[in-house]
Amino acid sequence: MTEPKPVLEACPPSLATSPRANSSEFDFVLAAMLETACETMNWEYGEAWIAIDDKVLQISSTWQTQTRLSRDRKLDWESFHACSQKFVLHAAEGLPGRVWASQTPEWMVDVSAESESYFLRHQIAKAFGAKAGLGLPVIIEQLQVVLVFFRSEAHSRDQQCIDLTEAAVAQIQAQLLH
């Protein structure tokens, strides 16, 4: 399992100093949501995108891989995350941006088969084996977050998986924040 890292580094100074932004609690909740979804719903990798203002999403340094993965797959996901650090997305841009703009979940059958204009990390996905993907909008401590999960196998839209992943995330959120 990858150690979660602080997420508020990506936030503007005004947010980072706000009383509601307890970074250790926020990071803990993010990591718990990602871990629970990865482990219970068979997502190999989970990441979080944070709205740093009303126009821009930035990837969080908190991410998770499924514990049952081989060492090589974990390294692939680590590389996928490292390459993703360079991306800053606007509303409706890329999977996280579309989910943020619509505030509805989005399933992608095979991100590596999509065009670069539709899935901006297309080349990274091809290089490191990302296929099926799911984006979920979440609000944590008044911060808008998009959780994104991937598998290394293409998979047709699975409404039950979407519903159960949302339920797992909501359950952790309810337990830890209320």
Say if 2 falls within a structural domain. Answer: no
Say if 50 falls within a structural domain. Answer: yes
pLDDT bracket for residue 177 (50, 70, 90): confident
Domain that holds residue 77: 8-177
Instruction: Please tell me the total count of domains within the chain.
Output: 1
Say if 160 falls within a structural domain. Answer: yes
Average pLDDT of the residues of the chain: 87
Instruction: Report the predicted TM-score, pTM, of the whole model to 2 decimal places.
Output: 0.86
**What is the pLDDT, as a whole number, of residue 176?**
85
Query: Which pair of structure tokens corresponds to residue 42?
Result: 């068979």
Termini Cα distance of the chain = 26
pLDDT bracket for residue 118 (50, 70, 90): very high
- Whose CA is closest to 140, among 42, 3, 22? 22
Say if 28 falls within a structural domain. Answer: yes
Length of the chain: 178
**What is the pLDDT, as a whole number, of residue 156?**
98
Q: Is the pLDDT of residue 17 over 70?
A: no
Read off the CATH number of the domain in which 65 is found. 3.30.450.40
pLDDT bracket for residue 98 (50, 70, 90): very high
Which residues fall within 8 angstroms of residue 135, CB to CB, at 6 or more apart?
A: 95, 96, 98, 99, 105, 106, 146, 147, 148, 149
Say if 3 falls within a structural domain. Answer: no
